[in-house]
C-alpha cells in the first residue's frame, strides 16, 4: 500500500469544523463561551485560507491551556468608563471572548457618540485580527484594531528584538461589495508564516529576518531559533509597530510584548498583552454616503490598474469553502480528531 502524501486534503462543512474545534477547546479546559469564540474565529480563518491562524494554531492553543499560562474559563470584566470608552479586563483569558462580552455596548456607544474605543488588557490574542473588525463594517461602521504579541522583531536601527509582530486590521463598508478589510503584521512576515516555512523546509525571501548573530538570513529556523524578524518597510513599519505597542499595551493597561515571562509555563504560546479597537460611525459626518465614497475610491483604484484588493483573496476562499467545504489536510484533520479524543 502506498503512503498517503502529506498534501492529501479533506473538506469539512464550516459548521462541522467549528463544532470539532469547539469540542477540542472544551476538552482542553475552556468554558463553553470561550470555546464558542475561539472555534468560530479559528474555523473562519481556515475557511478564508488565512492558514497562519487557522487549524495550524490548535496545537498551540492546547499546549498553552495545558501549561496553565492562560485561563480558558476567565470571565471578562466590562467597565463602561465614558460615553465613548469601554475598558475590559480579560482576566488572563483570551481577547476574543472579551470582545464578545463588550461588543453590543461598543456598537451602541459608537452609534450614539460617533466614536467608541474598546481597550482590552490582561488578554491573550493568538489569532488573525480581521475577524475582530470585519463584522463592524458589515454593520456600516468603520473599525480599526491593533494587538501586540511577543518579542521577536528588531526595531529599525536597533540590535536586538523588542517589538512583537503587532498587526493592524482595518475594516470599512463599501457599497455593492463585501467590506474593505486589510489585516497585516507590522513585521516583514507573521511569525506563524515563518513557522510554516520552517516546517515545509522552505527558504524565505530576502529581508525578513536575522539570525542569532544579527546577520541577514533566509533560513526560517535561524529566525525562530535565536534570531529575529525585521519590521516591514524599515523605519516606517518600525514606527507603526511602536504605535501598536503604545495603543495595545500602554493605553489599555496590557503588557508590552517584552514585558511578560512565560518561561515557567513550558508549552505556552499565546502572547499575554492587550488590544485596542476603535469603532467609528461614518453616518455622523457624511450621512449614508461613506459606503458610496468607498465604492468610488475602489472603482478608481481598479481604473488605474489594481487587480487585487486586500481581503479579496480571503473572500474568494470563503466562497469556495461555501461550495466545497473548508479545506484542510487529512493529516490536520486526523490531528484535530485526536485532540478531540475521537480517534
Residues found near ligand PYC in the complex (CB under 6 A) = 52, 126, 149, 165, 185, 190-192, 271
Q: Which does 163 bind (CB under 5 to 8 A by kind): ligand NDP, ligand PYC, none?
A: none
Q: Which residue is nearest to ligand NDP (CB)?
A: 128
Of the residues 71, 178, 183, 281, which one makes contact with ligand NDP according to CB under 6 A: 183
Is position 52 annotated as part of the catalytic site? Answer: yes
CB contact set of 126 (below 8 Å; sequence gap of 6+): 53, 57, 60, 61, 64, 94, 269, 270, 271
Q: Which does 43 bind (CB under 5 to 8 A by kind): ligand NDP, ligand PYC, none?
A: none
Catalytic residue among 44, 52, 123, 238: 52
By CB under 6 A, is residue 314 in contact with ligand NDP? yes
Distance CA(217)–CA(203), nearest Å, equals 9
Q: Provide the 8-state DSSP code for 251.
A: T
Least distance from ligand PYC to the Cβ atom of residue 269, Å: 8
Strand ranges inside the chain, DSSP E: 9-12, 77-82, 85-94, 115-124, 142-147, 168-172, 180-184, 209-210, 216-217, 228-229, 272-280, 326-329
Is position 28 annotated as part of the catalytic site? Answer: no
Give me the residues paired with residue 146 across strands.
168, 276
Q: What is the dihedral of CA 25, 29, 32, 34, to 10 degrees?
A: -70
Q: Which does 183 bind (CB under 5 to 8 A by kind): ligand PYC, ligand NDP, none?
A: ligand NDP
Least distance from ligand NDP to the Cβ atom of residue 306, Å: 8
By CB under 6 A, is residue 269 in contact with ligand NDP? no
**Which stretch, 31-39, 82-90, 180-188, 209-217, contacts ligand NDP (CB under 6 A)?**
180-188
**Residues within window 3-32 making contact with ligand NDP, judged by CB under 6 A:** none
Of the residues 129, 222, 223, 240, which one makes contact with ligand NDP according to CB under 6 A: 129
Q: Which does 131 bind (CB under 5 to 8 A by kind): ligand PYC, ligand NDP, none?
A: none
CB contact set of 221 (below 8 Å; sequence gap of 6+): 198
SS3 assignment for 89-129: EEEEEEHHHHHHHHHHHHHHHHHHHCEEEEEEEEEECCCCC
**What are the Cα distances from residue 133, in Å, to 163, 185, 327?**
23, 15, 24
Is position 51 annotated as part of the catalytic site? Answer: no
Phi, psi of 217 (to 5 degrees): -145, 150
By CB under 6 A, is residue 127 in contact with ligand NDP? yes
- Name residue, grid cell 473588525: 133
* Number of other CB atoms surrounding residue 223 within 10 Å: 26
Query: Is the separation of the CB atoms in 132 and 169 below 8 Å?
Result: yes
Catalytic residue among 22, 53, 124, 125: 53
The radius of gyration of the chain from alpha carbons, rounded to an integer in Å, stands at 20
Catalytic residue among 193, 238, 257, 281: 193
Least distance from ligand PYC to the Cβ atom of residue 175, Å: 33
By CB under 6 A, is residue 53 in contact with ligand NDP? yes
Contact positions vs ligand NDP (CB under 6 A): 50, 52-53, 125-130, 147, 149, 165, 167, 169, 182-185, 189-190, 192-193, 271, 308, 310-314
**Which residues form the catalytic set?**
52-53, 193
Amino acid at each position: 500500500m502506498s503512503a498517503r502524501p502529506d498534501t492529501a486534503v479533506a473538506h469539512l462543512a464550516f459548521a462541522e469544523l467549528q463544532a470539532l474545534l469547539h469540542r477540542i477547546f472544551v476538552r482542553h479546559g475552556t468554558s463553553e463561551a470561550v470555546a464558542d469564540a475561539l472555534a468560530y474565529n479559528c474555523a473562519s480563518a481556515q475557511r478564508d485560507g488565512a492558514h497562519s491562524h487557522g487549524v495550524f494554531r490548535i496545537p498551540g492553543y492546547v499546549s498553552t491551556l495545558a501549561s496553565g499560562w492562560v485561563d480558558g474559563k476567565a470571565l471578562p470584566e466590562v467597565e463602561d468608563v465614558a460615553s465613548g470608552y469601554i475598558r475590559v479586563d480579560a482576566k488572563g483569558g483570551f481577547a476574543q471572548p472579551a470582545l464578545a462580552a463588550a461588543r453590543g455596548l461598543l456598537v451602541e456607544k459608537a452609534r450614539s457618540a460617533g466614536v467608541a474605543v474598546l481597550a482590552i488588557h490582561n488578554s491573550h490574542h493568538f489569532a488573525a485580527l480581521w475577524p475582530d473588525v470585519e463584522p463592524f463594517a458589515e454593520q456600516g461602521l468603520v473599525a480599526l484594531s491593533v494587538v501586540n504579541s511577543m518579542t521577536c522583531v528588531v526595531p529599525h536601527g536597533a540590535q536586538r528584538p523588542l517589538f512583537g509582530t503587532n498587526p493592524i486590521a482595518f475594516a470599512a463598508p463599501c457599497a455593492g461589495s463585501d467590506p474593505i478589510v486589510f489585516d497585516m503584521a507590522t513585521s516583514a512576515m507573521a511569525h506563524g508564516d515563518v513557522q510554516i516555512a520552517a516546517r515545509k523546509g522552505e527558504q524565505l525571501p530576502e529581508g525578513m529576518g536575522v539570525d542569532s548573530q544579527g546577520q541577514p538570513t533566509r533560513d526560517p529556523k535561524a529566525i525562530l531559533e535565536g534570531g529575529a524578524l525585521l519590521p516591514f518597510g524599515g523605519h516606517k513599519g518600525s514606527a507603526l509597530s511602536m504605535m501598536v505597542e503604545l495603543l495595545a499595551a500602554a493605553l489599555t493597561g496590557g503588557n508590552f510584548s517584552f514585558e511578560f515571562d512565560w518561561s515557567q509555563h513550558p508549552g505556552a504560546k499565546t502572547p499575554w498583552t492587550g488590544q485596542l479597537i476603535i469603532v467609528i460611525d461614518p453616518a455622523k459626518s457624511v450621512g449614508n454616503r461613506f459606503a458610496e465614497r468607498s465604492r468610488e475610491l475602489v472603482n478608481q483604484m481598479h481604473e488605474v490598474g489594481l487587480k487585487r484588493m486586500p481581503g479579496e483573496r480571503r473572500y474568494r476562499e470563503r466562497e469556495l469553502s461555501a461550495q466545497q467545504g473548508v479545506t484542510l489536510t487529512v493529516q490536520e484533520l486526523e490531528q484535530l480528531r485526536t485532540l478531540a479524543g475521537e480517534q
